[in-house]
Amino acid sequence: MAALGWLTPRKRSATARSVLAGEAAAEAGLKSSQEIDGVGTAPAGTAEPVVPDFPVIGDARAAAFFDLDNTVMQGAAIFHFGRGLYKRKFFQRRELARFAWQQAWFRLAGVEDPQHMQDARDSALSIVKGHRVSELMSIGEEIYDEYMADRIWPGTRTLAQAHLDAGQQVWLVTAAPVETATIIARRLGLTGALGTVAESIDGVYTGKLVGEPLHGPAKAEAVRALAAAEDFDLARCAAYSDSHNDIPMLSLVGHPYAINPDSKLRKHAKDREWRLRDYRTGRKAAKVGIPAAAGVGALAGGTAAAVALHRRRR
């Protein structure tokens, strides 16, 4: 059972590493947003006719911050990225099975435990170590088209577009690698992305992080740092997330939204009269807590996905 130690929940409080991760994410995000500006355009689609009572048109000191996994996109970006790297023979079936088990855990527990998230990042870091940043960015573009483009929630996409139409900046804030998040932001026509920053020297990944994964308190620190740099008034800003782990970020702004919320965030949002949006089907929304039987199915599904992918490769 020692090999499955990463399944054991562990608590982690905000630390100086959270601040470092947040500041690094803000710095990387600002640099990447300069590249995004004027490059990406919003894709045509069949977005739901959502008309939010916010934002305020012309309020340039307001901005919107969107979590990525299960808020903007169905599933975890790092898992989809892992599938793409496996297809390109960056790693073997054993590592793919680990990705599948980690993804199954997120679905089983219905939460994003910081230690589990870090284990997923560690797996990804070991895979990309020694590769050039430019190489992964190029591959990331292909992976977005293969696995992510069709998983964007139309309702959340419409909310983001409402902020853009109002003349406001819109940022992804995610534990996914900043390079992956930047690609998604560009493809969606957003301002930029704040994500986990992997250390690189002379354009080559070292296999280490700057600070820690951009998760929980680190997300709030990244938003705080970006707001200071861009002169945003957080009381006039909005934030959107599906996870109770993002309550620190949601609590920073004057307009917090719970999108496809897990059970803890749903309760927290209702207690504080935060706005809620659920773009899942009724059947999926009913499984926010995921009963034991459904959890077993999710676990089996994750393993089956790994096996199926391996068979297709053969």
Give the residue numbers marked as catalytic: 67, 69
**Which has the closest alpha carbon to 168: 66, 251, 70?**
66
Tokens 């704040």 appear where?
194
Peptide bond into 248 cis (omega under 30): no
